[in-house]
């Protein structure tokens, strides 16, 4: 992207620091080297701007590009990739079949790992037990998918990596509040090595919050969800 174009870009991100979905957008923008205005949102008292920009889901993240809102993090990532398109920073492969496969795994990670992962800390009883099982079973599928690879797409950090890596900053909260152990290093060595590799990237390093800080916020979210505060 030339500097003249960059000067004209108006890019804002409505997010919340602890939101793993928002972190996806932050990593995506950082990977592309896009300057943007970070607008922290209070999800317990949603701003008129958030409600106006994402009236259907009323969730973060919302990317606002030259006044146009884009919501749903996986769609936001594809939008970022399409707008600031360069062969060196592409999040998705160019071949249609390879793209479809990457989108399949991003969708799998989203629905079958990230969502049950979040359910492990904010539910209780049978629902919580089922979430822990689902999360660990599907993490094992991702472990197999990573075998012999540096990243989900091979040698290149891409959409699936961006979609999944923010959730690793929540694993500590899942374990503590879900009262279970993931045993990442012992049972999921490919994911363990991949996580360390992702954390070496500036985009990830500067985006992911401290897991202890995440735990404090996750504890409040859990209490509120379960009606304990």
Ligand X SMILES: N[C@@H](CCC(=O)N[C@@H](CS)C(=O)NCC(=O)O)C(=O)O
Regarding 72 and contact with ligand X (CB under 6 A), the answer is: yes
φ/ψ bin of 42: left (φ > 0), alpha (ψ from -120 to 50), beta (otherwise): beta
Report CA-CA distances (Å) from 115 to 39, 76, 111, 119.
Answer: 25, 18, 5, 6
Residues 46-65 within binding reach of ligand X (CB under 6 A): 58-61
C-alpha span between 2 and 39 (Å, rounded): 25
Hunting for tokens 């991702």 — which residue is that? 142
Regarding 73 and contact with ligand X (CB under 6 A), the answer is: yes
Residue 197 CB, nearest distance to ligand X (Å)? 23
Please, which residue, 13 or 192, has the CB nearer to ligand X? 13
Regarding 129 and contact with ligand X (CB under 6 A), the answer is: no
Residue 45 CB, nearest distance to ligand X (Å)? 11
C-alpha span between 61 and 20 (Å, rounded): 9
Residues 7-36 within binding reach of ligand X (CB under 6 A): 16, 19, 21
C-alpha span between 73 and 47 (Å, rounded): 19
Regarding 43 and contact with ligand X (CB under 6 A), the answer is: yes
Residue 162 CB, nearest distance to ligand X (Å)? 12
Residues that bind ligand X (CB under 6 A): 16, 19, 21, 43, 58-61, 72-74
């Amino acid at each position: 992207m030339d500097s003249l174009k960059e000067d004209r870009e108006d890019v804002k991100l409505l997010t919340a620091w602890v939101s793993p979905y928002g972190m996806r957008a932050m990593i995506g923008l950082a990977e592309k080297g896009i300057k943007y205005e970070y607008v922290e949102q209070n999800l317990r008292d949603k701003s008129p701007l958030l409600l106006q920009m994402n009236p259907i889901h009323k969730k973060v993240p919302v990317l606002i590009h030259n006044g146009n809102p884009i919501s749903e993090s996986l769609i936001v990532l594809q939008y970022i990739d399409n707008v600031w398109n360069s062969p060196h920073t592409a999040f998705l492969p160019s071949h249609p079949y390879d793209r479809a496969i990457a989108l399949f795994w991003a969708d799998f990670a989203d629905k079958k790992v990230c969502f049950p992962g979040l359910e492990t800390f904010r539910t209780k009883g049978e629902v919580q037990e089922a979430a822990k099982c689902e999360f660990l079973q599907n993490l094992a599928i991702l472990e197999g998918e990573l075998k012999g690879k540096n990243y989900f797409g091979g040698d290149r950090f891409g959409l699936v990596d961006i979609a999944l890596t923010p959730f690793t900053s929540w694993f500590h909260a899942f374990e503590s509040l879900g009262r279970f152990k993931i045993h990442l290093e012992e049972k999921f060595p490919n994911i363990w090595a991949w996580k360390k590799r992702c954390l070496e990237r500036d985009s990830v390093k500067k985006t992911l919050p401290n897991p202890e800080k995440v735990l404090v916020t996750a504890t409040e979210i859990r209490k509120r969800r379960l009606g304990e505060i």
